Structure 1
């Protein structure tokens, strides 16, 4: 029997966290290559990107495999420019990490022919295989309007609100730096989030004279605004910059790598994760696209009121188009048989890699904005971003289930 009264905690990190800087650069490069493909007339479905970024004190190293329309000499120049623009947008202009002066090494090369042959099978519709083996999970629940777990949702919102305030210099928020992380503990009663009982926040500050009390005075109004939909307990424990000063931040303080924040990117530990990172990958990589599809399907199951909670697992083999398995867990909250839902999901959506990309229209430059504040629980954009957050399968799902 599931517990009904308990505490659960999730953490998030800001766009200026060293690992998130790397995620942003990697995804900016994915977007860059989709834009270049459009300019050149290249079939976007043929684009391949697997881009990893390392950042440390005034140094950025970008490596990986690509198949694109940009010749090698121009590619390095464009990638460097995209990286600098990303770092500038985040807000790094400090001595140890500056968008203008950081040295950038670009070590991108052609995609492996062995990997390519597993994906480019035949060239006919739906015959291409998955870019790798793996398992992917999607999750949705009724804890927020966005059908996300409350702890990760509010952890993300806190940092997103602080970033907006910092960039607009609202009040004293201009004294804060780009690097930050937070942790939110929620009390559940009768299985539902009732209040926030603990908030941990560490944020870089540019004014060296600030202490923990000063920083709390700056951030607390924005924190309360961000979590306004869920009460903060009267005896909530706050830890704001608990170690004291936090002046040296970002890659100057700690090296960053693409793909190290996979739980932050998804459900904050409230649901399983298959293990594959998202950023820097084009959507032939099922690590990314199938995780988006699984979230999309889980969200539609819950939005259709077929369950209050839904976990979906998809599995793939490299070079094989159809998923090896589709698994659904409704956590005892469903109004329909789980095996019937598994069958219905295959009916309402083509779950081959090509089918997912076409259904969610993923071959677009929509990825940089996913690199911070979560890939899920976001509002679908007019540019096609976050298409996996739509709830447009409700009627098809109900029909497939005879509802």
Structure 2
């Protein structure tokens, strides 16, 4: 019997990196609301008392970017100077330029379309080169690895008890981490939980620990999942008053493992937030997850990883790989061909299939892009099961 431990982390919406992601996606959503064909690549930097937005954009929309930045920060909960950051009074600096025409050459008309433009899905070329991964497993209802599922639930609960006033004295910044024991590839239980929350200075560590265990950990992790000898760490440094951008610089795209599968599978390195769907860093990751989830839902494998790779300006992926870790229920090559027959991984086809030219992105910018059962995301649907099965015939 082979056993091991695996750990994943999450962060709350008040973590400075996640604040930056949410601001970038709020700007993207605002532009898509007015112009669905907006091309957006926006980054946000947060530091003490300042938010800096920079990037390249091609759009017909007019967006009051400073207002979007401030509203997002206030919604997160940084609305008082005593929290170390205030959305109303912080400085907002912007540096937005037009998208490079050299990139637009390949996105507006792919390499394939320059040779044959009869297929409309050949029109859009990939917005960049790179590798993208998708994953699904039957070990949880979310079809996600248990460690990242629990870490996200804890982070979301930590924000919930603060915003709803269930617990007084908690502030927006926070981090969670969960270690799960596996035996022969299946989760057995939790061996360690770490929760750190920003707080008012008059709360003691003992009070915080009691509040977190009672109101955050216990409602999220069932007692039967906690293995004997489980270690619980709450604010292990003893104090977490200074948090958010006043304590740590925030930057878009610096929580890519939190955003995806908690480190369970490889990551191509490309971030999601602030990018419109012509950027395959975002859209191809979503399509890979969509395909993986439908494969597992169809009972064709217990778990699966997909890898895609693209060349900038080219519509069709340059490579496609699946790995079922020996759990496939049908011939692996037949499964591979069935997936390619069922799912079209060209950017234009992905955008159409998942209806990605909508302002749906801000909601994904905290608590993960995958396995979300609290919001309706098109790449989380399992509506291609029958098509997959037919493609195997």
TM over 0.5: same fold? yes
Give the length in aligned residue pairs. Answer: 382
1:1-400 correspondence to structure 2 within 5 Å: 4-37=2-35, 44=36, 46-71=37-62, 75=63, 78-95=64-81, 96-121=84-109, 125-126=120-121, 127-170=123-166, 173-206=167-200, 208-221=201-214, 222-228=216-222, 231-379=225-373, 381=375, 385-400=376-391
Aligned-pair CA distance for 1:80: 1.0
Aligned-pair CA distance for 1:380: 7.5
**Distance in 1 separating the partners of 2:347 and 2:267:** 19
Aligned residue for 1:197, secondary structure, equals strand
Aligned-pair CA distance for 1:209: 2.3
Aligned-pair CA distance for 1:308: 0.7
Over the residues paired in the alignment, what is the CA RMSD in angstroms? 1.5
Unaligned regions of 5+ residues in structure 1, if any?
38-43
Aligned residue for 2:120, secondary structure, equals coil
Aligned-pair CA distance for 1:128: 1.6
**Distance in 2 separating the partners of 1:142 and 1:227:** 19
Aligned-pair CA distance for 1:143: 1.6
Aligned-pair CA distance for 1:202: 1.0
Compared with structure 1, are the counterparts of its residues 168 and 138 closer, same or farther at alpha carbon in structure 2 (3 Å cutoff)? same
Aligned residue for 2:239, secondary structure, equals coil
**Distance in 2 separating the partners of 1:350 and 1:224:** 43
C-alpha contact (below 8 Å) 2:79/2:86 kept by paired residues: yes
Aligned residue for 1:341, secondary structure, equals helix
Q: C-alpha deviations, 1:108-138, integer Å up to 9, x for none?
A: 1111101111100058721220000011000
C-alpha contact (below 8 Å) 2:169/2:203 kept by paired residues: no
Q: C-alpha deviations, 1:195-227, integer Å up to 9, x for none?
A: 111011111002x12232211111112212112
| Structure 1 stretches of at least 4 aligned residues deviating more than 6 Å after TM superposition | none
**Distance in 1 separating the partners of 2:344 and 2:327:** 26
Aligned residue for 2:131, secondary structure, equals strand
Compared with structure 1, are the counterparts of its residues 376 and 88 closer, same or farther at alpha carbon in structure 2 (3 Å cutoff)? same
**Distance in 2 separating the partners of 1:229 and 1:109:** 53
C-alpha contact (below 8 Å) 1:130/1:285 kept by paired residues: yes
Unaligned regions of 5+ residues in structure 2, if any?
none
Aligned residue for 1:147, secondary structure, equals coil
Q: TM-score, normalised by structure 1?
A: 0.92
